[in-house]
Amino acid sequence: MPEEETTPPIVKEEEIAVEKKPSAREVDMSSWTPKTDLGKRVKGGEFSDINQVIDAGKKIKETEIIDALLPGMETDLLLIGQSKGKFGGGKRRIFRQTQKKTQEGNKPHFLALAVVGNRDGYVGLGAGKAKETVPAREKAYRKAKLSIIKIRRGCGSWQCGCKTGHSIPFKVSGKCGSIEIVFMPAPKGTGLKAEKECQKILRLAGITDIWSKTRGTTTTKLNVMYACFDALKKLMDTKIKSEDYEKMGIVEGNQK
């Protein structure tokens, strides 16, 4: 007789609560024992600014480095999954669940996607997968911190010209799978005209006004988020003339 299949565990509401307040995962620097050369130099005071690490192209492998150089980072979880419902109409959720069928029964796995940022030019995106929801969430937070990037902000809209960093200085595009997303500068007061989950990434990056256009299978939310992050990376890859910095009010990171 074949064994009966076990139903997947029910995710509790408290486990899927989205965190929108400053991260409580700050560590005590005095109890931190660095394992990498960069960590030792940060704790020793050689690096006191995150720009020194990013501009030097250093690989960040310890989350305590981000906690030390960018304190008070905010975190959020993106809605990339969907709970069960009639005709696929279940409520959106922060965990994407997959199952592997074995002789012992169904073995579920959970995938979470987290974003971290300081609303002032720094943002990171990371995914975590585990057999339970809490470890998946913690992995996502950790990987998001390790993928922190610096972005350019400015006012590239011909309708505005306020020379402040409320939008982006020029048009950029990002791609992941079949998804291609294009971001365009917008005048002040426009708001974030983008996909709802992309808005969370843009908001934590410090962007308040933007236009967007998306192509491809946009129902695959994971690819949409990665395409959004890819577009933000390209803001730092484009070469800009020195006279354009003042013309468009371009700032890099939290530079004033």
Domain boundaries, the chain: 13-20+75-149, 29-71, 151-252
d(CA 30, CA 22): 21
Backbone angles phi, psi at 110, to 5 degrees: -120, 135
Torsions phi, psi for 164 (to 5 deg): -125, 165
Domain 13-20+75-149: CATH architecture, name and number where available: 2-Layer Sandwich (3.30)
**Max Cα–Cα distance, the chain, nearest Å:** 77
How is domain 151-252 classified at the CATH fold level? Ribosomal Protein S5; domain 2 (3.30.230)
| Rounded Cα–Cα distance for residues 250 and 126 (Å) | 27
pLDDT (tens place) for every residue of the chain, 256 residues total: 444 444 444 444 434 444 444 443 445 677 889 999 999 999 988 998 999 999 888 999 999 999 999 988 999 999 998 877 665 567 788 999 888 888 888 898 999 999 999 999 999 999 999 999 999 999 999 999 999 999 999 998 988 888 889 999 999 999 999 999 999 999 999 999 999 999 999 999 999 999 999 999 988 899 999 999 999 999 998 888 888 888 888 888 875 4
- Which has the closest alpha carbon to 208: 93, 117, 108? 117
Q: Would you say 111 and 94 are in contact if contact means Cβ atoms under 8 Å apart?
A: no
Where would I find the H helices in 147-218? 196-205
